Chains A and B, each alone.
Chain A
Amino acid sequence: MQRIGVFVCHCGTNIAATVDVKAVAEALSHEPGVVISQDYQYMCSESGQNLVKDAIKEHKLTGVVVCSCSPRMHENTFRKAAASVGLNPYLVEIANIREQCSWIHKDIATATDKAVILGKAAVAKVHLNAPLTAGESPVAKRALVIGGGIAGIQTALDIAEAGFDVDIVEKKSTIGGKMAQIDKTFPTLDCAACILTPKMVEASQNEHITIHSFSEVSEVKGFVGNFTVTIKKKARYVDEVKCTGCGACVEKCPMKKVPNEFNEGLDNRHAVYIPFAQAVPKVATIDPNYCMMLKNGKCGICSKVCTAGAIDYKQQDRFIEQKYGAIIVATGFNPINLDKYDEFAYNQCPDVVTSLELERLMNAAGPNGGTLLRPSDKTHPHTIVFVQCVGSRCDDEKGKPYCSKICCMYTAKHAMLIREKYPDTEVYVFYIDVRTPGKNFDEFYRRAVEQYNVHYIKGMVGKVTPKSDGKIDVQASDLLSNEQLHINADMVVLAAAIEPDKTARPLATMLTTQMDTNDFFTEAHPKLRPVESATAGIFLSGACQGPKDIPETVAQASAAAAKAIGLLVKNSITCNPCVAHSDELLCNGCSSCEKVCPYGAITYQDKEFRMPDRTTAIRRVASVNPAVCQGCGACTVACPSGAMDLNGFSNSQIMAEVDAICK
């Protein structure tokens, strides 16, 4: 006979304000097998836990139901409490009457009824709970960082510093990411390359770090501590080991009309290229979309001039497989496409540029060697208009609902730099608000206004019209003086919203991690677990989790590294005992479960069975590797005969819960 204790938590007023907790305790006391039913103000407090412990001892409880918050919060607390007095922790069930009840209802009667039903379901389930024992599984002492921008580099350096091997997978031909394209950094105005390139070099020289550039993650299997990842090393048609990065091939390549993505398409590069001087690895890459040799077999000049013999036109994509204990996602961001913003004439006028394009225009390694010239006629612009929030804080479908966070600061930086270098240039900034929270940020912005006389105008730009004389008419409203303005500008700079890199969504699917509606990775807890994903062993670094500036990105990158190191130092991790198992007598051997298992935990074997008619037969049956199984339950649903079942969430337990709810 079961002896079940029910403990109903008030959670202060979180639950008690909407649920009549005493009525819930009273109603559940009449459920079959319930020998004690109590309520208490804070069940998770030490005295609350003692209440549970004492009841287990006094009433010799065989099962415990705690009606409280989500099991994600305190299931572990109560399991540990039960275990400390000798009750198997898996005989504790949580009925979530807070997130799934009190917080979402207003009417006390309805909420109380629902809380009772949720409690009854938990009691029905605990009747069928079996004691479970957790096993252990080893941790692979190697980390994978996906993305080689400043976030990925910082995370990799920190993990390597702790003595663990770490691989960076970067889809471009060099690490460095967006920061490598940036000219100066706010609020100190130091040169981005000067602070980034030492880190890039450090990463390439660190014996613990392996950089897979021009590579992608193509498959992820396994689970925390034990991921198996297939990395696709895309054919770059240059042998990475042999190439010395001398650049002779680039110099001689006759195909010179390839839009240079590193300079945001503002100038051209060759079909064989090294994106920038400090690229890491400094290895040439041949662009197969433009290379004459790869396209129609006519050229081969680079191969002739390469003294190292590194050019290999027959190179194929290669796949390597590696085991990792932890994976850190650092896939970063991109400015949004501005095709839909016709009002700003971005596609019609070359002198309307994005802020990232302006970074390149002002950079010494950029298309103009660092002199700010209009892309259209290479003349010096005298009036520049900055438009803020292009696609940010947008309530229609063209843009993004969120604030891109970095634009106010980099625009202040751009304005200041232009006024510093070209004092004869008038700079206008149209903004909704200027957002400058951060150390030395507001001081920085005020310097732009007060010291550099940048014209900040509150209001949005309505229309940008290129004129026949090469000037640009910017029509805008000044909300403070309530007047319509026309500015005769030479250049317009659009602060385009930023969005997660397009590779993030398929990657999230591979990693079984969650994303929000904007395709930013979702952290395990927005406040308390900001660098972990909800999937164990997957960590988040940088702008893939939300818009961030460089200081914040680096801080988060180090935090993600710390979390990953915390995992990697362990020799083994406790497994979840709620794993699947197959009833061999019922198993058809149909492979349905194997096909849906995301962890590859199910294998088949031919076994001899004694059949009901006293014959023996060889049958193909499934078996689950409990160290690999993560207890997701997909197999139990796919199994047509009900042979697959999940410890702790058995078919009969779930059926009992449903019955209790529907009664």
Chain B
Amino acid sequence: MQETMIKRAKELLADGTVSRVIGWKKGEFAYDTTPAVFETAEELDRDFAFDDFTAANVSKYLVKESRKEGKILAFLKPCDTYSFNQLIKEHRVIRENVYIIGIPGGPKLDAEKIKAKGITGILGIKNENYTLKIETLYGTETMPFYEAICGKCESCKSKKHVIYDELIGEDGDILDSNRFDTVEKLENMTAQERFDFWREQLSKCIRCNACRNVCPACTCEKCVFDNPKSGIENKAASDSFEENLFHIIRAFHVAGRCTDCGECSRVCPQNIPLHLLNRKFIKDINELYGEYQAGADTVSRSPITDYTPDDCEPSVVHERGVE
């Protein structure tokens, strides 16, 4: 796959269709493949990577990249295409400046899950028939592939690319995922249990802003949390658990726009399941206003900023919140 992608990228660079390519490049270790922009065939040959660790969603980079001169080639996994579509809907990317090649999705791996098995000094990781062969400084270790997959890939919502100019490989289907199971568990808790759960989780936050910075729905020119005039930063600090409110306000801001790409939880260095806040919103929207998937298209209106005469009454929304 990686070779096919490089070959196609080089062709598109050569014939002038695009002037840059966004994808992933090899990192220092076998597991830290990160998003990168390539401008030449040489760079592609040298650094381009597409492996089990390319979980990162490159859609958000296109907010800036699509505004630069010339067209950029973007490799988007199915889940990334939802984010890209949502950004088109919000006029945050310039569609004409992006050439999209749809590539197969995950499941991708999470190095932290491998390390959690006590495997250190990793030199190389190979997937042999869904068993990971991990070369380390101390010898070769093995573990089942599925025990190391990325949190966001555990409940994949779709293998279908919702937008692309061409595809490499086959397009898949929208999946019947179990992604709301955990939300349901939280809903079944008592208010106190749920409060305690979130307090414990959110108390781990070190306010590194990684979740916000990676989120494809968080593309404001100036974030309200960086704008002292908004008064919101003060609100987030009014409580000793200021991060509680930071994350809750953020969840409100992306409600109806979050595509459930799972990047927030993937990048959280403290392993806070932040995506559950967003997923609760998605589940509520589905139940109150009918099934809605942000980013599934570029024209439909989010039920939260739309009104139809058969919308449920606000009291119904309110009653759901009452224990």
| Chain A residues packing against B (C-beta within 8 Å) | 505-506, 509, 585-592, 595-596, 604, 617-620, 638, 640-642, 651-652, 655
Contact = CB atoms under 8 A, between A and B. Distances in A.
Interface string B52-83: 00000000000000010000000000000000
A66 B80 CA distance: 55
A615 B139 CA distance: 52
Nearest to B230: A642
Contact of A652 (B90, B222, B231): B231
Contacts of A587: 221
Contacts of B231: 651-652, 655
B223 A620 contact: no
A506 B309 contact: yes
Contacts of A638: 305
Nearest to B231: A655
A641 B220 contact: yes
A620 B90 CA distance: 11
8 contacts: A587-B221, A588-B90, A590-B92, A604-B91, A638-B305, A641-B220, A641-B224, A642-B232
Contacts of B230: 642, 651
B158 to A, nearest CB: 23
A591 B90 contact: yes
A641 B221 CA distance: 8
A612 B90 CA distance: 23
A589 B91 CA distance: 6
A655 B253 CA distance: 17
B133 to A, nearest CB: 46
Nearest to B217: A640
Contacts of B2: none
Contacts of A586: 220-222, 227
B223 A641 contact: yes
Q: Is the interface of B mostly helix, strand, loop or mixed?
A: loop
B219 interface: yes
A595 B306 contact: yes
Nearest to A505: B309
B222 A590 contact: no
A-B interface, 7 closest residue pairs, ranked by CB to CB distance from nearest: A590-B90, A641-B220, A642-B230, A655-B231, A589-B91, A638-B305, A596-B305
Given A509-B309, A588-B219, A642-B227, 8 more contacts: A586-B222, A591-B89, A592-B305, A596-B305, A640-B257, A641-B222, A641-B224, A655-B231
B229 interface: yes
Among A588, A618, A652, residue most surrounded by chain B Cβ atoms (within 10 Å): A588
A608 to B, nearest CB: 12
Nearest to A656: B231
Nearest to A609: B221
Interface residues of B, number: 22
A551 B221 CA distance: 62
Interface in B215-267: 219-224, 227, 229-232, 253, 257
B207 interface: no
B163 to A, nearest CB: 18
B8 interface: no
Contacts of B67: 617-618
A619 B253 CA distance: 21
A588 B221 contact: yes
B307 to A, nearest CB: 8
B301 interface: yes
Contacts of A651: 230-231
A585 B222 contact: yes
Contacts of A595: 301, 305-306
A587 B253 CA distance: 15
Nearest to A586: B222
A612 to B, nearest CB: 10
A652 B229 CA distance: 8
B162 to A, nearest CB: 19
A585 B220 CA distance: 11
Contact of B220 (A588, A596, A604): A588
A454 B231 CA distance: 75
B222 to A, nearest CB: 5
B253 A640 contact: yes
A233 to B, nearest CB: 23
Contacts of A641: 220-224
A440 to B, nearest CB: 43
Contacts of B92: 588-590
B90 A592 contact: yes
Contacts of A618: 67
A604 B92 CA distance: 13
A588 B90 CA distance: 8
A585 B221 contact: yes
A448 to B, nearest CB: 44
Given A640-B253, A652-B231, A591 B224 contact: no
B220 A640 contact: yes
Contacts of A506: 309
B91 A591 contact: yes
Nearest to B219: A588
B221 to A, nearest CB: 6
Contacts of A591: 89-91
Nearest to B64: A617
Nearest to A654: B231
A652 B230 CA distance: 7
Contacts of B222: 585-586, 641
A640 B220 CA distance: 7
Interface in B90-106: 90-92
A641 B91 CA distance: 14
Contacts of A619: 221
A607 B230 CA distance: 24
Nearest to B253: A640
A86 to B, nearest CB: 30
Nearest to B304: A638
A641 B212 CA distance: 13
Contacts of B309: 505-506, 509
A220 B123 CA distance: 67
A652 B232 CA distance: 10
A619 B221 CA distance: 10
Contacts of A596: 305-306
A620 B91 contact: yes
B108 to A, nearest CB: 29
A207 to B, nearest CB: 38
Contacts of A509: 309
A373 B76 CA distance: 78
A379 B88 CA distance: 73
Contacts of A588: 90-92, 219-221
A651 B231 CA distance: 9
Contacts of B227: 586, 642
Nearest to A635: B305
A348 to B, nearest CB: 34
B276 to A, nearest CB: 21
Contacts of A590: 90-92
Contacts of A585: 221-222
A588 B221 CA distance: 6
A595 B306 CA distance: 8
B3 to A, nearest CB: 37
A421 to B, nearest CB: 47
A619 B219 CA distance: 13
Contacts of B89: 591
A641 B257 CA distance: 14
A592 B89 CA distance: 10
Nearest to B90: A590
